[in-house]
């Protein structure tokens, strides 16, 4: 088995689809890095000048009007002693930096917010990219007849399937780590370049690690499903047709007809895994406390545990189906 796995690893390493997938995922990650740069780029000189002019007008108004506002606030406080009017705050002259950051210039997120918004989608990129790669690593050998030759030297089909699956997973790990590392480094780099790091960004390292781990597992899941389906259907076109039908019929149409089925779709459970849990809404009607019929969306929670278990079950079914078909069907 070890020799067979080494041979499969050598075959996979030589496949252009592996390197092509890595390049495509790195380029896609670069798009997320560019989005992070756009989110955090510093304001232009024209924006700052416009803000400074607006601050000058505001400060002039504040100097003329704040005594009257303080008097009004004190009268209100005298009439209503229960509420805290906090009239002292009106004596604090706003600074230019506070005015620009709080009310004039665009908001610039820190590293933690940027990781959540821009690094999180990497998981979906890995799922799509590694699904295509996994199918190609198997279906190409069926199309070329290489599997028939391979079975002449390694007739035990179970070992052949497991070794190809293992080699595909190793390739998926390498490709995923390259994409994750390049995207993470790019996001950190653009925030440092834009001087957008904030005091609470120390927690970003843990968020990076958590998000990357979830994305890596999702990518390995996609590879496993792809290999299983490719062994079952043997043709990339067949797998593509099945995926298109599944997305159109099960992921899109079924939740429209039966809204509660959203809890068990792959999209919902994959999102629950990648995001640490998710929700979906179902339109429901009920009688309120005064006896009136009320209708509205009711949110239901899908936990990360459920998402992981559903994905695991789907992977086992796909691999089991692929193993069964590979075992009983002739290979030309």
Query: Which of helix, strand or coil describes residue 201?
Result: helix
Task: Please give the span between the terminal C-alpha atoms of the chain, in angstroms, as a whole number.
Answer: 23
Q: What pLDDT shows up at residue 157?
A: 72
Residue at a domain's end among 89, 104, 119: 104
**222 vs 220: CA distance, rounded Å:** 5
- Within this chain, do residues 159 and 56 fall inside the same structural domain, yes or no? no
Report which of 122, 63, 121 is spatially closest to residue 93, judged by C-alpha positions.
Answer: 63
- Within this chain, do residues 163 and 232 fall inside the same structural domain, yes or no? yes
Rounded to the nearest 5 percent, the helix, strand and coil shares of the chain are: 80, 5, 15
Average pLDDT, rounded, for the chain: 84
Mean pLDDT for the stretch of residues 246-254:
93
User: Please, how many CA atoms are within 13 Å of residue 115, restricted to the half-sphere of its CB?
Assistant: 24
Query: Which of helix, strand or coil describes residue 92?
Result: coil
- Within this chain, do residues 30 and 50 fall inside the same structural domain, yes or no? no
Mean pLDDT for the stretch of residues 192-216:
86
Mean pLDDT for the stretch of residues 232-240:
90
Q: Is the pLDDT of residue 308 over 80?
A: yes
Q: Is the pLDDT of residue 108 over 90?
A: no
- Within this chain, do residues 72 and 191 fall inside the same structural domain, yes or no? no
Q: What dihedral angle (degrees, nearest 10) is formed by the CA atoms of 105, 106, 108, 113?
A: 140
Length of the chain: 332
**307 vs 277: CA distance, rounded Å:** 8
Q: pLDDT tens across 279-299, in order?
A: 988 888 877 777 777 888 888
Tokens in use for 91? 């004596």
**Residue 295: strand pairing partners:** 285
- Within this chain, do residues 38 and 187 fall inside the same structural domain, yes or no? yes
**63 vs 226: CA distance, rounded Å:** 68
**239 vs 226: CA distance, rounded Å:** 8
Q: What pLDDT shows up at residue 271?
A: 96
Q: Is the pLDDT of residue 85 over 70?
A: no
Q: pLDDT tens across 30-46, in order?
A: 999 999 999 888 877 77
- Within this chain, do residues 37 and 172 fall inside the same structural domain, yes or no? yes
- Within this chain, do residues 73 and 187 fall inside the same structural domain, yes or no? no
Q: What pLDDT shows up at residue 153?
A: 60
- Within this chain, do residues 149 and 118 fall inside the same structural domain, yes or no? yes
Query: Which pairs count as long-range contacts for 57-62, CB under 8 Å and 24+ apart, including other chains?
Result: 58/94, 58/99, 59/93, 59/94, 62/93, 62/94
**71 vs 109: CA distance, rounded Å:** 38
Q: What pLDDT shows up at residue 332?
A: 63
Number of domains within the chain: 2
Q: What pLDDT shows up at residue 146?
A: 65
Q: Is the pLDDT of residue 50 over 80?
A: no
Any idea what the Cα angle at residue 62 is, between residues 61 and 63, rounded to 5°? 95
What is the 3-class SS of 134-149, one letter each residue? HHHHHHHHHHHCHHHH
Sign of the Cα torsion 65, 71, 72, 77 reads: positive
Residue 105, phi then psi, degrees to nearest 5 = -80, 155
- Within this chain, do residues 99 and 135 fall inside the same structural domain, yes or no? no
- Within this chain, do residues 62 and 78 fall inside the same structural domain, yes or no? yes
Mean pLDDT for the stretch of residues 174-184:
97
Tokens in use for 278? 């998710």
- Within this chain, do residues 28 and 87 fall inside the same structural domain, yes or no? no
**122 vs 67: CA distance, rounded Å:** 54
Cβ-proximal residues to 269 (8 Å cutoff; 6+ apart), any chain: 302, 306, 307, 310, 311
pLDDT band at 315 (very low <50, low <70, confident <90, very high): very high
Range of the domain at 53: 45-104
- Within this chain, do residues 63 and 188 fall inside the same structural domain, yes or no? no
């Amino acid at each position: 088995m070890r020799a067979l796995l080494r041979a499969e690893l050598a075959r996979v390493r030589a496949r252009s689809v592996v390197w092509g997938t890595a390049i495509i995922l790195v380029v896609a990650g670069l798009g997320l890095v560019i989005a992070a740069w756009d989110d955090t780029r510093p304001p232009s000189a024209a924006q700052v000048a416009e803000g400074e002019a607006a601050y000058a007008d505001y400060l002039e108004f504040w100097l003329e009007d704040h005594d009257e506002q303080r008097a009004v606030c004190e009268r209100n406080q005298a009439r209503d002693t229960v509420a805290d009017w906090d009239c002292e705050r009106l004596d604090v002259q706003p600074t230019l930096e506070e005015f620009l950051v709080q009310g004039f210039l665009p908001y610039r997120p820190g590293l933690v917010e940027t990781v959540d918004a821009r690094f999180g989608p990497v998981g979906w990129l890995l799922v799509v990219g590694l699904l295509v790669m996994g199918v190609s690593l198997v279906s190409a050998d069926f199309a070329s007849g290489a599997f028939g030759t391979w079975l002449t030297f390694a007739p035990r089909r179970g070992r052949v399937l497991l070794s190809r699956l293992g080699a595909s997973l190793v390739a998926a790990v390498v490709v995923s780590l390259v994409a994750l590392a390049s995207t993470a480094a790019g996001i950190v780099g653009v925030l440092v370049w834009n001087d957008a790091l904030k005091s609470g960004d120390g927690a970003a390292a843990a968020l990076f690690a958590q998000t990357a781990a979830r994305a890596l597992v999702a990518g390995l899941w996609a590879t496993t499903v792809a290999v299983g389906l490719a062994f079952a259907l043997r043709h990339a076109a067949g797998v593509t047709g099945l995926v298109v039908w599944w997305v159109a019929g099960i992921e899109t149409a079924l939740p429209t007809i039966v809204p509660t089925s959203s809890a068990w779709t792959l999209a919902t459970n994959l999102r629950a895994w990648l995001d640490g849990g998710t929700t979906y809404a179902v339109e429901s009607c009920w009688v309120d406390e005064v006896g009136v019929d009320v209708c509205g969306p009711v949110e239901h929670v899908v936990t990360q545990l459920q998402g992981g278990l559903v994905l695991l079950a789907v992977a086992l079914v796909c691999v089991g189906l692929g193993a069964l078909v590979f075992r009983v069907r002739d290979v030309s």
